[in-house]
Amino acid sequence: MALNLVEAPEGHSGQGFFATSFDQAVGLARANSIWPLPFATSCCGIEFMATMGAHYDLARFGSERLSFSPRQADLLMVMGTIAKKMGPVVKQVYLQMAEPRWVIAVGACASSGGIFDTYSVLQGIDKVVPVDVYVPGCPPTPEAIIDGVMKIQELIKNESLRRRNSEEYTELLAGYGIE
């Protein structure tokens, strides 16, 4: 039985061999083995728990293993309201992650502050760390969170291996005060 786990990238195949670019092969491997770090502070975190559960099962996308240490994580998932006092903590966690790293802001609060337009709440985590994908919703459904992770997978699959060494990327990080 041919079990088609993931689509093969573009390439040349013949009898007993398959050739593709290094970028594509690495992207394929990375995209299907993301270790997410859940940074859950409120109701979006509850939706994430449903997403990891048997019914929605993010494990189907290769994210079986949550990493509770930022040092081994590939994807920082920020889910919930981030108070200004917690902003430096989010940044610290991001700094502890090894490259390549991706960030997804789940829900209205992580994306923009949500309903909490007030002096104590960070108005979106993109004020302290660069964000790759924003998931709208208050809270988003597990389907929406999975859609966000799939968008991350697309980004990973199509990312050039040189991107993290590019000037643009260094500039982006410098914009957040990250060396």
The CB-of-78 to other proteins minimum distance in angstroms stands at: 17
Taking the least distance from each CB to other proteins, the nearer of 169 and 176 is: 176
Q: Binding to other proteins by residue 113, rule CB under 8 A?
A: yes
Provide the minimum distance between the beta carbon of 87 and other proteins in the complex, in angstroms, as a whole number.
8
- Residue 58 near residue 112 (C-beta atoms within 8 A): no
Cβ 158 to other proteins shortest distance, Å: 28
Of 122, 145, 121, nearest in space to 133 by CA? 145
- Minimal distance, residue 85 CB to other proteins, in Å: 6
DSSP 73: -
Cβ burial, residue 141 (10 Å; 0-12/13-18/19+):
middle
119 binds other proteins (CB under 8 A): yes
Quick one: which of 1, 5, 14, 117 contacts other proteins (CB under 8 A)? 117
Residue 118 sits in the site that holds other proteins (CB under 8 A):
yes
Is residue 127 at the binding interface for other proteins, with CB under 8 A as the rule? yes
Q: Quick check: 80 binds other proteins (CB under 8 A)? A: no
Distance of alpha carbon 48 from its chain centroid, rounded?
Answer: 13
113/84 Cα distance (integer angstroms): 10
Q: Rounded to an integer, what distance in angstroms lies between the CA atom of residue 135 and that of residue 43?
A: 14
> What is the contact surface with other proteins in residues (CB under 8 A)?
84-85, 112-113, 117-121, 123-124, 127
